[in-house]
Structure 1
């Protein structure tokens, strides 16, 4: 059973990483770069460097690595930087901002419901 769980998790991880590679490729196409193999071979290393805990959220380190690695495939440094930073924004920053907003709304709504429920249950104390 543990082997099956491991294989399923490994497949899900490969699919997730491959989706990020496709995301990088399509962002590169937006900057007129049509080199899928550059993103297929270079971007997994950029994502691996993203795990190094040297900077806050890997900012700077990830972009520098993308510039260094994708330059080997003759992708301009400004495109490599923009693709790397946009992937960070789309996959990390925007969901985090949405999560903070959603957490605030859920807390506010939950507090309102809790206050209302207590007010209804403890009405005899108010009389």
Structure 2
């Protein structure tokens, strides 16, 4: 019953956020913005989206190779793209853990592989979110606390490992440093692609790449609030608020964020649906 109430609550929050965004946006202006984007820019943004998806895939597969039994390239591709599909099925992207169950291995190996992959990627995002929020809004100096997220997450990890049944899910001889080095490097490349997508689409407003990086991490951090499906509504609202001081209309801010979300999440999720239906042994 609690799960149903939680699901309905998050559906309601997502709906309310979208209603608020619709009130802020003129539909005709939104379509005019999309029609004004040069084809070359669209292709470049698509290419950067592909780079983002590939970096995430390599990051996940590298950890899976070290922590799980051998699997084929086909299994890896299906598992990776299905993660985008599962991400949209449950609030806070929790459904993404389902992708690990498309690879061979035990439940322990699958859950730990997902958690360690998310651990480093999430830590990087919140680290830059804290710095970026402070740089954009100096009076919010307390947001710098997010820079210590790795320490907090590590402390929670150790606490759970030593005092709860979670210790049964931790494999022996985990190569933490190897996974961290590859994960962090690929995560930074992934975020570089994401920032560049915004920068290209918003070039008419003369926002520097560094400033756009701050705005993008602010959007990512707010979008990580686990009260809607895949951050829908929070992310677009954050873009509207953060880009307004730079003269970016609501239609452009929301439209840019939705377009990037479509390219980076919806398109690979659609690929995931096709792979699950036609190539995966699990239907």
Query: How does the TM-score come out when normalised to structure 2?
Result: 0.35
- Tell me which residue corresponds to 1:70: 243
Contact 2:205 2:247 in 1 (8 A): no
- Tell me which residue corresponds to 1:35: 207
Residue segments in structure 2 that go unaligned for 5+ positions in a row: 1-174
Query: Number of aligned pairs?
Result: 107
Residue segments in structure 1 that go unaligned for 5+ positions in a row: 112-127
Q: Is residue 15 of structure 1 aligned with residue 179 of structure 2?
A: no
- Tell me which residue corresponds to 1:125: none
Contact 1:67 1:81 in 2 (8 A): yes
Question: Counterparts of 2:235 and 2:202 in 1: how far apart (Å)?
Answer: 16
The secondary structure found in structure 2 opposite 1:22 is helix
Question: Counterparts of 2:271 and 2:197 in 1: how far apart (Å)?
Answer: 20
Q: Is residue 26 of structure 1 aligned with residue 185 of structure 2?
A: no
The secondary structure found in structure 2 opposite 1:72 is helix
Rg: which structure is higher?
A: 1
Q: CA RMSD in A?
A: 2.0
Higher relative contact order (CA 8 A, sep 6+): 2
Deviations, residues 25-81 of structure 1 (Å, cap 9, x unaligned):
11223xx33313442211111011121111122111110000001112222221111
Q: Which of the residues 211, 216, 220 maps onto 1:47?
A: 220
Query: How does the TM-score come out when normalised to structure 1?
Result: 0.73
- Tell me which residue corresponds to 1:114: none
Question: Counterparts of 2:277 and 2:201 in 1: how far apart (Å)?
Answer: 32
Contact 1:38 1:70 in 2 (8 A): no
